[in-house]
Structure 1
Amino acid sequence: MGFFSKNIDKKIASYQHELIETHYREVDNMYRQIRGWRHDYRNHIQTMKAYAASEDWNAIKRYLDLLDDDLTTVDTVIKTGNPMTDAILNSKITLAKSKNIQVVADAHIPLKLKSSEIDLCCIIGNLFDNAIEASVKLPEDQRVIRVYMDMRNTQLYISFTNFTAGKKMKKEGTLFRSTKGEGHGFGLVRIDAIVERLDGYISRNSEDGAFTTEILLPQV
């Protein structure tokens, strides 16, 4: 039993490391796009000056529309007050939008938290990945992920809701059955382990065609 437990812990630790690396790559890619857009800023200004000099106002309007669409793909969607949370949330929101998933997010988090950035990264990343996985199975007009994060007295409250294919998910123990591979299961176990270590609370509920995870993490 001890060997089995150590083997599972080793696999979970390996998956956690891989997950964090993936998240940082996503964040780095997002900021690389932003830096690229800023680098091109002078060229954009010069182009619009040329159109203005020839009084081609329609061309300026078309160019501004193109720039607006381009910037939307890299613009920071959420500002929570916590830089690391901003990075993870925005990278995942960008990923969701690339899969035609609507994200409704409302998040307010203090600059400093008792919970470590790595723990928060694992929790948010896993929750978002699970919600995206479930959403892509639905018709595009039904793909919605709702995210809410805020302080409730001395606890950080995290809520993720996504629509499912209509069937109520089967619960096995404290977890709901996963349709994904091994890594997905370790992700769920990792979330539970972090919440337990931080003396937090987690609730999962599947009903009415929606799946909701709620988490409370003490911050004192």
Structure 2
Amino acid sequence: MAVTTPGEHRHRLPRIRLRGRAQRELAAYQRSLLDTHHHEVETMYARMRTWRHDYRNHLQTMKALADQGDLDALRRYLDELDDQLTALDSPIRSGNAMADAILSSKMALAQSQGIDVRVDAHIPVRLRVGELDLCAVIGNLFDNAIEATRPLPDGERLIRVYMDMKGTQLYISFTNTTASAKLGGIRGRFASTKRGAGHGFGLLSVDRIVEAAGGYLSRNSEDGAFTTEILLPQE
């Protein structure tokens, strides 16, 4: 699986100009996408807040069991709490709570479809791009990776995500196996393989966010794998 390094095939995005209906459709798609990602993040936070709210009740119950000397019941209660915490705990700890939530949500979605997902993410600083836009980039890239990987047979579905600082910029790399040897390009940008509502807008949304942040973006399709690499400057 060939993956370009940050310095290879890197280019500043060409300025994207849309007019009329295309501009309105893209704006509507972006709003819908942000609403979806925001809902995913809020759902995860709501579950965590609910558990924290019940924390005192859990303590009182355990104290009561301890006072009664019912150690077996106390152990069972602790095991149940441990299971709940494991389910709530995000498998990703990048340093950015919203990025963790969207990565965890998309990771769970991909795994439910039999896709092997490997994520190594570290975001230790604030970025020039807003958190919702960062989540839109991550969500779009993940959605496209899932869509491209899904048709492959079991054992060949793989998505790799890497995020870390390169100097003063956040380097983002999404690589996925794909059934297509080469994906078609449009004006230097790869075309989405998806059909229907939102066709092509996911990639275009990523392009516009990266462009607005003054970042860099590279896409490469080679040896049955598709890679997107992005550099985003810190705040």
Relative to the length of structure 1, the TM-score reads 0.80
Instruction: Please give the secondary structure, in 2, of the residue aligned with 1:189.
Output: helix
1:93-134 deviation line (CA, Å, top 9, x unaligned):
222222232221111112422211122121111001111112
Q: Pick the aligned partner of 1:15 from 15, 29, 33.
A: 29
Q: Pick the aligned partner of 2:94 from 80, 84, 89.
A: 80
CA distance in 1, matches of 2:165, 2:174: 15
Contact 2:127 2:232 in 1 (8 A): no
CA distance in 1, matches of 2:72, 2:233: 60
Using the TM superposition, name which of 151-160 and 193-202 deviates more: 193-202
CA distance in 2, matches of 1:162, 1:189: 19
Alignment identity in percent?
Answer: 55
Using the TM superposition, name which of 5-14 and 137-146 deviates more: 137-146
- Which residue matches 2:131? 117
Using the TM superposition, name which of 100-109 and 204-213 deviates more: 100-109
CA distance in 1, matches of 2:130, 2:136: 10
- Which residue matches 1:145? 159
CA distance in 1, matches of 2:194, 2:33: 15
CA distance in 2, matches of 1:67, 1:136: 35
Decide which structure has greater helix share: 1
- Which residue matches 1:94? 108
Shift of 1:187: 1.2
CA distance in 2, matches of 1:211, 1:132: 12
Q: What is the one-letter code of the residue matched to 1:165?
A: A
Instruction: Please give the secondary structure, in 2, of the residue aligned with 1:17.
Output: helix
- Which residue matches 1:219? 234
Q: Pick the aligned partner of 1:108 from 116, 122, 142.
A: 122
Shift of 1:149: 0.8
Relative to the length of structure 2, the TM-score reads 0.76
Q: What is the one-letter code of the residue matched to 1:107?
A: A
- Which residue matches 1:207? 222
Shift of 1:12: 0.9
Q: What is the one-letter code of the residue matched to 2:200?
A: G
Q: Any gaps of 5 or more consecutive residues in structure 1?
A: none
Contact 1:166 1:208 in 2 (8 A): no
Q: Once superposed, what is the RMSD of the aligned Cα atoms?
A: 3.1
Contact 1:83 1:111 in 2 (8 A): no
CA distance in 2, matches of 1:177, 1:112: 31
Cα separation, partners in 2 of 1:12 and 1:55, compared to 1, 3 Å: closer
Cα separation, partners in 2 of 1:97 and 1:71, compared to 1, 3 Å: farther
1:154 aligns with 2:168: yes
Shift of 1:163: 0.7
Instruction: Please give the secondary structure, in 2, of the residue aligned with 1:214.
Output: strand
Q: What is the one-letter code of the residue matched to 1:174?
A: G
Question: Higher relative CO (CA 8 A, sep ≥ 6), structure 1 or 2?
Answer: 2
Contact 2:118 2:161 in 1 (8 A): yes
